[in-house]
């Protein structure tokens, strides 16, 4: 089903009444919409703030509105993002001081009502939240944590693939010098080595029980050829299982055991991940208090991106923000 943009709708209305579409759009913006009387217009380029929408549980995330420029969005969790009242703040930029200076405009007694804020692993946002909502618990979203571990495993696979490509190129050059045509060896499933590594991407995201027959055969060949990648896969599955635990202390103990396995594996990519996880560990483990995620912020961001796409991009950022606050604030 196609969604009409505002421009499409305006063009249809203008055509029906026999008036110029651009003039009608300008009339709507400057006379009908209330944009010129907007109480936050004077500082819309810097920030929008709706302290009346603050609840005990908030989310913070970043979104690109126009030309790659990032804005920080603060939303609440207690109101469905389809309804008004979900938007707490929109801040131009992601710098800690910028975010903090805007959020500190909210009276301290209102800020102290916030008990929990979910976020990704961005250090700047963590610092801003820590300094402005001093009574809250910060929760790092499990999706971002698990993705970090998955990325480490995939980085190892990609490194092995490029190594296989380099070796194949050398073999091709050598065959040319000898006046021969190089034919890459195939495994029992018909994959060459570089194809094996490329086609294994998705099976590594899945649990073994969810593999198809062809994926199981490919995984057997892959892990026999690269035992280190098999170790990385098992470490990833074990880490994901931590989030099935119900106790924060059990999660801490299991994480420390997992960390020891990483050290013994000597896989560089996973050692790097451990260092990052240890830095954020207390906020990661806060997930187990209420099992809070940042899913509502991701859903909110998705709605903004769809809204932007329906408008075929953002030409006037301030007016776009005005329309956002009409929908969500």
Q: At what angle do helices 123-132 and 96-103 cross, to 10 degrees?
A: 30
308: left (phi over 0), alpha (psi -120 to 50) or beta: alpha
User: Is 13 a member of any domain?
Assistant: no
CB contact at 8 A, 318 and 41 = yes
Tell me the C-alpha distance between 60 and 44, whole Å: 19
Q: How far is CA 295 from CA 22, 29, 212, 307, in A?
A: 38, 33, 29, 18
DSSP at 111: H
The whole-angstrom separation of Cα 311 and Cα 56 is: 33
The rounded distance, in Å, linking the Cα atoms of 264 and 320 is: 52
Does residue 182 sit in helix, strand or coil?
coil
Q: Are residues 155 and 136 part of one domain?
A: no
The verdict on 87 and 135 lying in the same domain is yes
Number of folded domains in the chain? 2
Mark 173-205 as b/e (b = at least 16 C-beta within 10 Å).
eeeeeeeeeeeeeebeeebebbbbbeebeebbe
Which are the contacts of 154, defined by CB distance < 8 A and separation ≥ 6? 201, 204
Residue 129 falls within a domain, yes or no? yes
Q: Which of 235, 275, 272 is nearest to 254 (CA)?
A: 235
User: Are residue 314 and residue 191 in the same domain, yes or no?
Assistant: no
Q: Assess whether 284 and 159 both reside in one domain.
A: yes
Q: Which residues of 100-123 are buried (b: 16+ CB within 10 A; e: fewer)?
A: bebbeebeeeebeebebbbbbbbe
Please indicate, yes or no, whether residues 297 and 273 belong to a single structural domain of this protein.
Answer: no
Q: Could you tell me if residue 12 is inside a domain? A: no
Q: Which domain holds residue 194?
A: 143-290
Q: What is the CATH number of the domain that holds 54?
A: 3.30.420
Q: Kind and range of the H or E element at 215?
A: helix 213-225
- Considering the domain architecture, whether residues 174 and 298 belong to the same structural domain is answered as no
* Domain identity same for 171 and 268: yes
Point out which residues pair with 92 in neighbouring strands.
71
Paired strand residues for 49: 89
* Together in a domain, 74 and 125: yes
Determine the Cα–Cα distance for residues 238 and 258; give it in Å rounded to an integer.
8
Is residue 178, in this structure, part of any structural domain at all? yes
Residues 63 and 152 in one domain: no
Q: What is the pLDDT of residue 323?
A: 80
Q: What is the pLDDT along the chain (329 residues), one digit of tens a residue?
A: 333 445 555 565 555 555 555 665 666 666 667 778 888 888 988 999 999 999 999 999 988 877 778 889 999 986 554 557 888 999 999 999 999 999 999 999 999 999 999 999 989 999 999 999 999 999 999 999 999 999 999 999 999 999 999 999 999 999 999 888 888 999 999 999 999 999 999 999 999 999 999 999 999 999 999 999 999 999 999 999 999 999 999 999 999 999 999 999 999 999 999 999 999 999 999 999 999 888 777 777 777 777 666 655 566 788 888 888 877 76
User: What is the pTM for the complete model shown?
Assistant: 0.82
Q: Does residue 206 sit within a domain?
A: yes
Q: What is the pLDDT of residue 128?
A: 94
- Specify if 118 maps to a domain: yes
Side-chain half-sphere of 32: how many Cα atoms within 13 Å? 8
Q: Does some domain include residue 5?
A: no
Question: Is residue 19 a part of any domain in this protein?
Answer: no
Are residues 226 and 130 both part of a single domain? no
Residue 307 CB partners (closer than 8 Å, separation 6+)? 323, 324, 327
Token couple for 309: 């796409």
């Amino acid at each position: 089903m196609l969604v009409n943009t505002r421009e499409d709708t305006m063009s249809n209305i203008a055509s029906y009444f026999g008036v110029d579409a651009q003039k009608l759009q300008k009339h709507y913006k400057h006379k009908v919409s209330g944009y010129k009387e907007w109480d936050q217009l004077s500082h819309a380029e810097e920030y929008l703030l709706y302290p009346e929408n603050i609840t005990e549980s908030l989310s913070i995330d970043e979104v690109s509105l126009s030309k790659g420029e990032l804005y920080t969005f603060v939303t609440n969790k207690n109101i469905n993002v389809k309804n008004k009242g979900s938007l707490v703040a929109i801040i131009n930029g992601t710098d800690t001081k910028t975010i903090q200076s805007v959020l500190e405009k909210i009276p301290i007694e209102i800020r102290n009502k916030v008990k929990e804020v979910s976020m990704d692993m961005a250090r700047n946002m963590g610092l801003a939240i820590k300094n402005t909502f001093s009574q809250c618990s910060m929760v790092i979203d499990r999706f971002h944590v698990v993705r970090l571990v998955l990325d480490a495993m995939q980085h190892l696979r990609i490194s092995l693939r490029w190594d296989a490509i380099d070796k194949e190129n050398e073999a091709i050059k050598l065959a040319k010098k000898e006046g021969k045509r190089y034919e890459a060896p195939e495994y029992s499933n018909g994959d060459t080595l570089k194809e094996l590594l490329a086609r294994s991407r998705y099976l590594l995201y899945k649990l073994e029980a969810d593999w198809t027959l062809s994926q199981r055969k490919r995984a057997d060949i892959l892990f026999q050829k690269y035992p280190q990648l098999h170790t990385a896969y098992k470490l990833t599955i074990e880490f994901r299982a931590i989030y099935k635990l119900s106790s924060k202390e059990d999660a801490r103990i299991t994480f420390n055991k997992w960390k020891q396995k990483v050290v013994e594996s000597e896989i560089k990519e996973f050692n790097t991940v451990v260092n990052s996880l240890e830095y954020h560990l207390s906020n990661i483990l806060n997930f187990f208090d209420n099992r809070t995620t940042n899913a509502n912020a991701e859903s909110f961001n998705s709605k903004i991106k769809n809204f932007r796409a329906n408008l075929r991009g953002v030409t006037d950022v301030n007016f776009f923000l005005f329309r956002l606050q009409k929908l969500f604030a």
